[in-house]
């Protein structure tokens, strides 16, 4: 959605120069980085020749509708945010206003205001940003009337975690505010030092209400405090050589041109050296942002699209991950999930779910092809639900096989399973039935995640189901069942079955846990029959997260055998790295190996991915799609 204009305004020459400078610090978004990483469409080789930083943003806030629930949002560019989790945290008692978030030691923490009055602030912790647990209410020990807006500060040279909080210590509540800083005494964040005041930012005769909502940014050797003058209702700017001060004001009154009645300011550093400030227009229920190249000069405030009118005082942080030279993962550009892989007509093909839509609301399937599993060409939509008469929403988890001269796509739409066909792997595919093959809820669970498999003798099979693993033989017409689907659900199964055959044995792989969970993972079992049952192997899961490399939510896979040799690869999705989630995922490819007895070795998810893989020359496999 476009931003809303604030008021007619003519930029002075100095600000035009600032805007030109800011063009150099526009956030390097994940999509832009992906575009740079994946200039591989015509086999031009790996584009990543030097380390690149990918950024995403996390925003925690309370809302105009509730000060007892925390909401969590994510973004590629610190402007357009999506919902990670509504009502992600409700404290055991009191409020959850002004939540300030950090990511530390693999966990997320928020500090928040617990009440309008009192001497405590709250802390909560999460491993996945969606589910939060109360950690502690910290009593700072100062005789204060009010304890407001605790803000994490982690940029000091000593690396310690600090909190800057506004305390009202005068004779009257809701007045005489001054910011104080506390330092964590250990990594539990439950033991804190005595508060120390920020000298120079204190009540006076003219500013008798004092200063609230103080946010500190370290730039070089200087500490920049942006603090709300609670008397004048304006955000002001002060600078010091130490976090405790003494601070000297360099911006008083309406120095930045934002106007008054703003509070809850929070600042995030952008790639390239710039900054973005977010501000709460609490009286008009608007939320704004403003940019700066130097913390001294700021652009006019603009409404934050999508969230202005919804959110209140919160904090935005930037999370980063490094793409190293030669890294082949993620394999595809942009947000994609549920990848299905096959080999056809001399190329590898991947058909994924188009991700990045709220509620998994994509409406089309793209096809990607590659000569070597590394350099991919996007062929655009191969099936659009606009062309499917019985459903136009929730395009999920396609599976494509070739039988004879026809390619068959089984796909999820409206929580049903449809069938489409094409004469070419690059489509276009057209609806083959005009109705679902498997209707929504027909077998007592979600009718999604189809996987088609064709055995060595040409017999086709279909597997599907979320909540249960269904298996059936298809007729040769590929649009009807030869046998009634039967449940063969192994322990731990949730969704995403895929079946392949190796050395005369049938392997089934599936995903466990929830696709929104960092613990989403792949398990497998073996059978002597394509209809199972599949005995779950020891040593599962075979693919799981690697928190050390920020690789989370590894699941919903397919596998491919290199034509002509016993060489296998697993294609799967994971949370986009960094800061992705269950609707912002990316596709990765890694090697899959077997022991001499046929056991699948534990697969380590990697950033490096694989090197180019080409089949044996002139090899024409009898069935081009493995699983």
DSSP string, 315-351: EEEEEEEEEPTT---S-SSSSEEEEEEEEETTEEEEE
Measured CA to CA in angstroms, residue 262 lies from 7, 230, 257, 285, 551 at distances of: 16, 10, 12, 10, 39
* Percentage with pLDDT > 90 across the chain: 88
Per-residue HEC secondary structure of 477-492 comes to: CCCCECCCCEECCCCC
Amino acid 27: pLDDT: 40
Peptide bond into 428 cis (omega under 30): yes
> Any idea which residue has 């192994």 for tokens?
490
What DSSP string describes 491-505? TT--EEEEEEEETTE
Q: pLDDT band for position 622 (50/70/90)?
A: very low
Averaged pLDDT, 305-323: 97
pLDDT digits (tens, 9 = 90+) for 94-105: 999 999 999 999
Which segment of 1-10, 404-413, 522-531 scores lowest on mean pLDDT? Answer: 1-10
Task: Name the pairing type of β-strands 196-197 and 177-183.
Answer: antiparallel
Averaged pLDDT, 410-416: 98
| Selection from 378, 341, 351, 366 nearest residue 568 by Cα | 341
Measured CA to CA in angstroms, residue 357 lies from 354, 361, 411, 555 at distances of: 8, 5, 18, 19
For the chain, domains (ranges, CATH) are 53-322 (2.115.10.20), 336-601 (2.115.10.20)
pLDDT digits (tens, 9 = 90+) for 419-468: 999 999 999 999 999 999 999 999 999 999 999 999 999 999 999 999 99
Q: Is the pLDDT of residue 626 over 90?
A: no
Amino acid 606: pLDDT: 98
Amino acid 29: pLDDT: 40
Q: Is the pLDDT of residue 4 over 70?
A: no
Tokens for 281, please give them. Answer: 């227009």
Residue 343 near residue 615 (C-beta atoms within 8 A): yes
Q: Is the pLDDT of residue 472 over 60?
A: yes
Measured CA to CA in angstroms, residue 382 lies from 20, 63, 339, 365, 403 at distances of: 41, 41, 14, 6, 18
The DSSP H or E segment spanning 21 is helix 13-22
* Dist. CA 490–CA 234, nearest whole Å: 61
Q: Is the pLDDT of residue 9 over 60?
A: no
Q: pLDDT band for position 36 (50/70/90)?
A: very low
Mean pLDDT score of the chain, rounded to an integer?
A: 92
Question: What is the number of other CB atoms lying within 10 angstroms of the CB of residue 239?
Answer: 18
Averaged pLDDT, 409-413: 98
Tokens for 115, please give them. Answer: 């009440």
Q: pLDDT band for position 492 (50/70/90)?
A: very high
Q: pLDDT band for position 65 (50/70/90)?
A: very high
Burial 242-265 (b: 16+ CB within 10 A, else e): ebbbebebebeeeebebbeebbbb
Amino acid 205: pLDDT: 82
Q: Is the pLDDT of residue 615 over 90?
A: no
* Dist. CA 87–CA 70, nearest whole Å: 5
Amino acid 45: pLDDT: 39
Question: Who contacts 530 (Cβ-Cβ below 8 Å, separation ≥6)?
Answer: 453, 455, 459, 461, 471, 473, 499, 501, 506
* Dist. CA 256–CA 484, nearest whole Å: 70
Question: Who contacts 284 (Cβ-Cβ below 8 Å, separation ≥6)?
Answer: 261
pLDDT digits (tens, 9 = 90+) for 152-193: 999 999 999 999 999 999 899 999 999 999 999 999 999 999
Residue 527 near residue 463 (C-beta atoms within 8 A): no
Give the neighbor-by-neighbor strand order of the sheet with 275-281: 263-269, 275-281, 286-292, 302-303
Helix/strand/coil for 621: coil
């Amino acid at each position: 959605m476009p931003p809303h204009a604030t008021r007619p305004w003519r930029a002075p020459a100095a600000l035009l120069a600032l805007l030109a400078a800011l063009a150099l610090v526009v956030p390097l978004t994940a999509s832009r980085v992906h575009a740079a990483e994946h200039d591989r469409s015509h086999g031009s080789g790996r584009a990543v020749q030097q380390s690149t930083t990918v950024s995403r943003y996390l925003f925690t806030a309370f809302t105009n509708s509730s000060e007892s629930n925390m909401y969590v949002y994510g973004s590629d560019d610190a402007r357009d945010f999506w919902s990670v989790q509504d009502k992600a945290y409700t404290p055991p008692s009191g409020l959850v206003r002004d939540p300030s978030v950090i990511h530390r030691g693999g966990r997320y923490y928020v500090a928040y205001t617990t009440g309008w009055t009192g001497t405590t602030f709250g802390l909560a912790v999460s491993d996945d940003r969606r589910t939060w647990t109360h950690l502690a209410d910290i009593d700072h020990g100062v005789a204060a009337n009010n304890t407001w807006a605790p803000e994490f500060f982690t940029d000091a040279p000593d690396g310690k975690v600090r909190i800057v909080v506004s305390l009202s210590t005068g004779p009257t509540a809701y007045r005489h505010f001054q910011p104080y800083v506390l330092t964590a005494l250990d990594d539990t964040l439950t033991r804190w030092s005595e508060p120390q005041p920020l000298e120079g930012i204190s009540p006076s005769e003219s500013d008798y209400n004092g200063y609230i909502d103080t946010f500190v940014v370290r730039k070089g050797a200087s500490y920049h405090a942006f603090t709300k003058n609670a008397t004048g209702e304006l955000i002001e700017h002060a600078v010091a050589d130490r976090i405790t001060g003494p601070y000297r004001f360099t911006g008083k009154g309406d120095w930045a041109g934002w106007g008054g009645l703003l509070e809850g300011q929070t600042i995030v550093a952008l790639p390239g050296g710039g900054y973005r400030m977010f501000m709460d227009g609490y009286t008009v229920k608007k939320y704004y942002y403003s940019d700066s190249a130097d913390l001294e000069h700021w652009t006019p405030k603009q409404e934050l699209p999508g969230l202005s009118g919804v959110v209140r005082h919160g904090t935005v942080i930037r999370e980063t991950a490094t793409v190293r030279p030669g890294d082949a993962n993620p394999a595809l550009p942009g947000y994609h999930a549920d990848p299905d892989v096959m080999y056809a007509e001399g190329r590898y093909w991947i058909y994924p779910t188009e991700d990045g839509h709220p509620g998994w609301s994509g409406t089309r399937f793209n096809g990607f092809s590659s000569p070597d599993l590394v350099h991919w060409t996007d062929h655009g939509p191969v099936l659009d639900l606009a062309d499917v008469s019985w459903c136009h929403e929730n395009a999920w988890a396609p599976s494509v096989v070739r039988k004879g001269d026809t390619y068959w796509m089984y796909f999820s739409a409206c929580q049903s399973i449809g069938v489409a066909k094409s004469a070419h792997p690059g489509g276009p595919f057209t609806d083959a039935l005009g109705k679902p093959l498997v209707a929504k809820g027909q077998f007592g669970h979600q009718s999604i995640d189809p996987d088609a498999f064709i055995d060595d003798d040409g017999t086709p099979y279909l597997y599907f189901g979320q909540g249960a693993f269904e298996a059936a033989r298809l007729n040769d017409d590929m649009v009807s069942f030869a046998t009634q689907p039967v449940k063969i659900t192994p322990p731990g199964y949730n969704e995403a079955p895929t079946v392949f055959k190796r050395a005369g044995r049938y392997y089934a792989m599936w995903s466990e846990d929830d696709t929104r969970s960092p613990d989403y993972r792949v398990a497998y079992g073996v059978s002597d029959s394509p209809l199972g049952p599949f005995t779950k192997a020891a040593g599962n899961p075979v693919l799981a997260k690697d928190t050390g490399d920020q690789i989370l939510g590894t699941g919903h896979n397919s596998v491919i055998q290199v034509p002509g040799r016993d060489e296998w690869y697993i294609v799967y999705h994971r949370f986009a790295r960094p800061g992705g989630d269950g609707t912002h995922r990316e596709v990765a490819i890694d090697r899959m190996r077997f022991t001499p007895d046929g056991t699948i070795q534990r697969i380590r998810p990697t950033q490096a991915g694989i090197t180019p893989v080409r089949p044996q020359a002139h090899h024409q496999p009898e069935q081009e799609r493995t699983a």
